[in-house]
Amino acid sequence: MIERSSSYSEAARAGMHNACLQKSLRNLQARYGKGALDIWQSLPDPSLRHRVKARRMQTLAHLDQLLALLAEGIEAQGGQVYFAATAEDANRYVLDLARRNGVRRVVKGKSMLSAEIGIDAVLAADGIEVVETDLGEFIVQIAGSSASHIIAPCIHMDRQQIGRLFADQLGIPYNEDPPTLTRAARKALREKLLTADMGLTGCNLACVETGQISLVSNEGNIRMATTMPKIHVALMGMERIAATLDDQRDLLQLLTRGAALQKLSTYVSFLGGPRREGDPDGPEAFHLVIVDNGRSRILADPEFREVLACIRCGACLNICPVYGRIGGHAYHSPYSGPIGAVVTPLLQGINRHADLCKGETLCGACRDVCPVDNDLPRMLAALRHKLAYGDPAWQVRPHKRLEALGFALWQRIISNNWIYEMLLRVVRALQRPFVNPQGVLGPLPGLKGGWTEGRDLPPLAAASFRERWRTTLGRGRAQDPAGSHKEQYHDA
């Protein structure tokens, strides 16, 4: 996983001050987030997402059986399947495979799973050249940076930066024209794609019925990486599986629409084994590496199981107002945005990523736009619940003792009307020196400083609503059926 050199808030601040990133995200969200919502609203079958979600959950309920069948299907076509319990297992398998076959150069299709397990560093440490071939991933790779969006990795860089980067790294004269830069990358990467020993990709969706995995791309790099090198290794998150071709079709169409409003991406490849007799191209060996790395733990918890229905389309990134301001680097994970805020803590540690659990407003836009009807706000609330009290099952320690104390105190206050009113009176008296000529509270230190640094705070009103009700508003009305009960409530 990506090393953390700054906190969520610090990285968020950097993102908010990156003018290029801000402009790109604004354009992206204006077009794609809303565009996806429009598509869902005009579907001929309005229940499609709901049905697909139900089918995903049903698929997950049979996951062990389906994975076993998938493996059989791939092996029947001459492919090999390795079940990797951890990232280390997956990396070791691929490294051994590379060593056994004298692999010196690997070309990669975009794969977040590959970033999650950190395979690039493992291969590079062994002297193997690893080349990202998706243009955006290639750019962030040679820049020594990391992707900030699932679909558009270098959205945080402008053409001038990329121009300078290419001048440095590709030895071409400085140019900032996107077509010229793209052609330079095309030429440089073609040579790599045609001479690589191994192609390493992810897997969008595997299908049990056909025994084939599907891979989507617009650039053609994935087709190249899975056709020209002698070995193809596909890394697959264990949950990325469809039972029938109908399921795979439904999911693919939701994926390409959710990701970039496309009916289909330019290329969708289906493959399940090495080349056949009479094929002059295609890999001689195909390896599917199915990875757990913490997914079975998520699967085992009914509260979070549905997050495994995610098809990684990125629509939630394209609609989230928080992501739209802070950008992907603030999440310190290959999975950013709303999905990243849920999946990263579950895979990597809830305390470690407490900011991801708490650093959004739960506005619900992601839930509206998700093609598989995932309820991410519900899961964020569940993560916050674990941080509040701790949870031994997920090895969570209570996150902020002071905050817990604060809410315990809060409960006392709101459980007793007398205490509540007394507190209001005390604060009303204390606030007087802080109220400025405009009638509001300006910048304040401490807890309230969080608010008042950027905003004014209204003072407590001279008379609260309940006081006004008692003195004037409520006078002369019929008896209250809901009861002016005597204070009968006590803490539970």
Partner 1 sequence: MTPERVAFLNRIRTAVADTTAERLPLEILLAPADDEPLLAALAGRTQNQRMELLQQLIANAAPLNLQVSTCATLPEAAGRIAAIALASEPEFSGQKTLILHEHRLLQTLALDTLTELEDIPKHWTSRANTRVRAHTLAASIGITVADWGIAESATIVQLTRPGRPRSTSLVPSVHIALLPLSRLVADLAEAFALVRREPEHASMVLISGPSKTADIEACMVLGAHGPRAMHLLVLTGAADVAASSFLVASCSQCC
Partner 2 sequence: MSRPTTVTLFIQCLVDALFPEVGEAMVRIFDRLAIPLTYPENQTCCGQPAYTSGYQHEAASAARRFIDLFEQAEVIVCPSGSCVAMVRHHYPELLKNDPVMHQRALAVSGKTFELSEYLVDVLGLTDLGATYPGAVTYHDSCHLARTLGIREQPRRLLRYVRQLRLVEMANSDTCCGFGGAFSINYPEISVALVDDKINHIVESGADTVVGCDAGCLMNIRGRATRRGIDIRVMHLAQVLAGGVRE
Query: Based on CB atoms, which residue is closest to partner 1, 168 or 421?
Result: 168
d(CA 338, CA 360): 9
Among 301, 410, 422, 430, binds partner 2 (CB under 8 A): 410
Query: Based on CB atoms, which residue is closest to partner 2, 178 or 364?
Result: 364
In the shown chain, the binding pattern of residues 428 to 457 toward partner 2, with x for contact by CB under 8 A and - for none, equals: ----------x-x------xx-xx-xxxxx
Tell me the site size for partner 2, rule CB under 8 A.
Answer: 76
Q: Which does 434 bind (CB under 5 to 8 A by kind): partner 2, partner 1, none?
A: none
- Which 451-490 positions form the footprint of partner 1 (CB under 8 A)? none
d(CA 453, CA 472): 37
Q: Is 385 in the site for partner 2 (CB under 8 A)?
A: yes
How is residue 318 written in tokens? 């394209």
For residue 479, the minimal CB distance to partner 2 (Å) is 8
Query: Based on CB atoms, which residue is closest to partner 2, 174 or 389?
Result: 389
- Which 148-187 positions form the footprint of partner 1 (CB under 8 A)? 152-155, 158-159, 162, 178-179, 181-183, 185-186
Q: Exposed, middle or buried by CB within 10 Å (0-12, 13-18, 19+), for 466?
A: middle
**Piece of 57-65, 97-105, 311-319, 411-419 that binds partner 1 (CB under 8 A):** 57-65
Q: Is 224 in the site for partner 1 (CB under 8 A)?
A: yes
For residue 475, the minimal CB distance to partner 2 (Å) is 11
Query: Based on CB atoms, which residue is closest to partner 1, 371 or 377?
Result: 371
One-letter amino acid at 317 equals L
How far lies 83's CA from each of 259, 293, 312, 389, in Å? 28, 11, 21, 35
Q: Exposed, middle or buried by CB within 10 Å (0-12, 13-18, 19+), for 172?
A: middle
Among 221, 318, 333, 452, binds partner 1 (CB under 8 A): 221
Among 126, 168, 246, 284, binds partner 1 (CB under 8 A): 246
**Piece of 9-17, 277-285, 322-330, 402-410 that binds partner 1 (CB under 8 A):** 277-285
- Which 292-321 positions form the footprint of partner 2 (CB under 8 A)? 321
- Buried b / exposed e along 86-113 (16+ C-beta atoms within 10 A): ebebbbebbbebbeeeebebbbbbbbbb
* CB 147 within 8 Å of CB 140: yes
Among 244, 348, 415, 431, binds partner 1 (CB under 8 A): 244
Among 17, 19, 125, 263, binds partner 1 (CB under 8 A): 263
The values of phi and psi at residue 207, to 5°, are: -125, 125
For residue 242, the minimal CB distance to partner 2 (Å) is 29
For residue 241, the minimal CB distance to partner 1 (Å) is 11
Q: Is 146 in the site for partner 1 (CB under 8 A)?
A: no
One-letter amino acid at 458 equals P
For residue 125, the minimal CB distance to partner 2 (Å) is 37
The string of DSSP letters for 245-279 reads HHHHHHHHHHHHHHHHS-SS-SEEEEE-SSPPTT-
* CB 86 within 8 Å of CB 118: no
- Which 67-126 positions form the footprint of partner 1 (CB under 8 A)? 67-69, 71, 77, 83, 85, 89
Half-sphere exposure of residue 256: CA atoms within 13 angstroms, side-chain side: 17
Q: Is 391 in the site for partner 2 (CB under 8 A)?
A: no
Query: Based on CB atoms, which residue is closest to partner 1, 163 or 377?
Result: 163
Query: Based on CB atoms, which residue is closest to partner 2, 429 or 492?
Result: 492
d(CA 198, CA 129): 10
In this structure, what DSSP letter does residue 454 have? Answer: T
The helix or strand, by DSSP H or E, that contains position 236, with its residue range, turns out to be strand 231-237
d(CA 52, CA 47): 9
- Which 455-484 positions form the footprint of partner 2 (CB under 8 A)? 455-461, 463-470, 473-474, 477-478, 480-484
Q: Is 238 in the site for partner 1 (CB under 8 A)?
A: yes
For residue 127, the minimal CB distance to partner 1 (Å) is 26
Give Rg (Cα) of the chain. Answer: 27
